[in-house]
Amino acid sequence: MRRTAFIADTTALILFFTTTGIINERWIAGMAWDQVLHARLIGAVLMVPVARPYGLWRDWLMQRAGSGRVSKLLWDSIALVSFQVPIYAAIIAFSGASGSGLVRGILGATLMMLLLGRPYGAFLNWVRRLFGLPPGGEKPMSLGD
């Protein structure tokens, strides 16, 4: 079960954030295509060891979310920004972003991750279901609800 969770979380992270990373790096940070490729290759390599820890971090934070949409959106966004933005900043800096491009890239990633927190959380739960796993971070239902 642990191996399946690792594969599911890694698959979800790589698919979702390779796409959004390309958009941010090319059109918001203004990085050249070779820098985008470099950032995505580094990102893919780094996503493998951080995908499952992020999934666990998200699950832990999502236990604090209420049943409402706003609460889930807020907690998913907090989870994503707090875990992924520092890693992303290092990736694009190492890939050649500097000065105002680096700042724009970090700010763009922060905004994107605030907006994409819940969509990614839903995508992660969908991928987990495809792998036969329960969604993470959801409070279990009880007979009293």
75 lies in a domain?
A: yes
pTM (2 d.p.) = 0.77
Q: Which residues of the chain, if any, have pLDDT below 50?
A: 138-145
Enclosing domain of residue 31: 1-131
**DSSP output for the chain:** -HHHHHHHHHHHHHHHHHHHHHHIIIIIS---HHHHHHHHHHHHHHHHHHHHHHHHHHHHHHTT--SSHHHHHHHHHHHHHHHHHHHHHHHHHHTT--HHHHHHHHHHHHHHHHHHHHHHHHHHHHHHHHTT-PPSSPPPP-TT-
Task: Tally the domains of the chain.
Answer: 1
Give the pLDDT confidence score for residue 4 in this predicted structure.
94
136 lies in a domain?
A: no
35 lies in a domain?
A: yes
Per-residue pLDDT tens over the stretch 40-51: 998 899 889 999
